[in-house]
Amino acid sequence: MKLNLKNLNKSFNDKPVLKNINLELADFHSLAIIGPSGGGKSTLLRILAGLQKPSQGEVLINGIKLASNEKDLNEYRKTLGVVFQSYNLFPHLTALENIVLPMVHAHNYNEKNAVQRAKELLRGFQLDEHEDKKPHQLSGGQMQRVAIARALAIDSKFLLLDEPTSALDPELTSEVLAMINKLEEQQKDLILVTHEMGFARQSCDYIVFIADGQVLEHGQSANIFCSPQTPELKNFLNKILEWR
């Protein structure tokens, strides 16, 4: 996929969070956005997801400009899958219903086809024994995997994942990362905000480093991790890898 950001600015109550970002990425499958907390990673992802509007500038994804009115933005949101840190599943619905509900109501599938497709997906990710469970009966890792399955169910053009493992313990984290890795092997396009450096390095082909609202460095993941250029990235990687 292609991503093009031009003079992108976002501020909340006059406090700038993204400062004039210019970025042109052509032809990547999996992009990891890394950087210190509070640096603007999640805000950028939420703009890409069409959940927030930039204060200034424009976003082009695969050459198409992001809409600015709510109606077109909603149509745009239907074409992608988003997974947040936590609380992705609606607590009053079973795992299966969580996948079926948006298919039926936002994507006009008929109920029978939706259920069939949802069941196939759950089986594919070894989640079929949990299909009738409510979220409170699932582990955090299972919830995130169901959420990813839901994002896939609607034939999304690409996936956006906002720190999908940061609320999980290491064991569940690896279970979710394995699932994301599987998608990458299937050449599914995705953009991922993560603190899992090992994962970003091994399985994402492109990295963007954001700190203090700016893109300080970006490049192929091998280059970024082997020869970081800016002192900020060097510092960041040193700190993160200190205890590994």
Partner 1 sequence: MQRIIKLLVKGEEQIQINTWQKLINITLISILFAAFLVFSFISIEYNLRMETIWQYRSKFISGFLLTIVIAFFSLILSLAIGIILAFASKSRFLPLYYFSKIYVEIIRSTPLLVQIYVFFYIIGTALKFENRYVMGVIILSIFSGAYICEIIRAGIDSIDNIQIETARSLGFTFFQRYRLIIIPQVIRRILPPLAGQLASLIKDSSLLSIIAVSELTRNVQEVDAINFAVFENYIVLTILYMLLTVPVLSISRRLETKFNYET
- Chain residues in the site for partner 1 (CB under 8 A): 49-51, 74-75, 77-78, 80, 82, 84-88, 90-92, 101-102, 105-107, 134, 136, 150, 154
Residue 10 or 221 having the CB closest to partner 1: 10
Q: Which residue's CB is nearer to partner 1, number 91 or number 170?
A: 91
Smallest distance, partner 1 to C-beta of residue 163, A: 12
Q: Is the CB of 93 or the CB of 240 nearer to partner 1?
A: 93
How far apart are the C-alpha atoms of 149 and 46, rounded to whole Å? 20
Token representation of residue 233: 């990235």
- Minimum distance, C-beta of residue 153 to partner 1, in the bound complex (Å): 10
Please identify, using beta-carbon distances, which residue of 81 and 228 lies nearer to partner 1.
81
Q: How far is the CB of 234 from partner 1 (least distance, A)?
A: 34
Q: Are 117 and 104 in contact (CB under 8 A)?
A: no
Backbone angles phi, psi at 137, to 5 degrees: -95, 0
107 versus 234: smaller Cβ distance to partner 1: 107
Shortest reach from residue 9's CB to partner 1, in Å: 22
Nearest distance, CB of residue 170 and partner 1, angstroms:
23
Q: Which long-range contacts (CB under 8 A, 24 or more apart) does 195-198 make?
A: 195/34, 195/163, 195/166, 195/240, 196/165, 197/34, 197/225, 197/237, 197/240, 197/241, 198/244
* Least separation in angstroms between CB 41 and partner 1: 16
Report angle CA 9, 189, 21 to the nearest 5 degrees: 15
Task: Retrieve residue 225's tokens.
Answer: 């991790």
Under 8 Å between Cβ of 32 and 208: yes
User: For residue 159, which of 8, 48, 24, 5 has the smallest C-alpha distance?
Assistant: 48
By beta-carbon proximity to partner 1, the closer residue of 98 and 203 is: 98
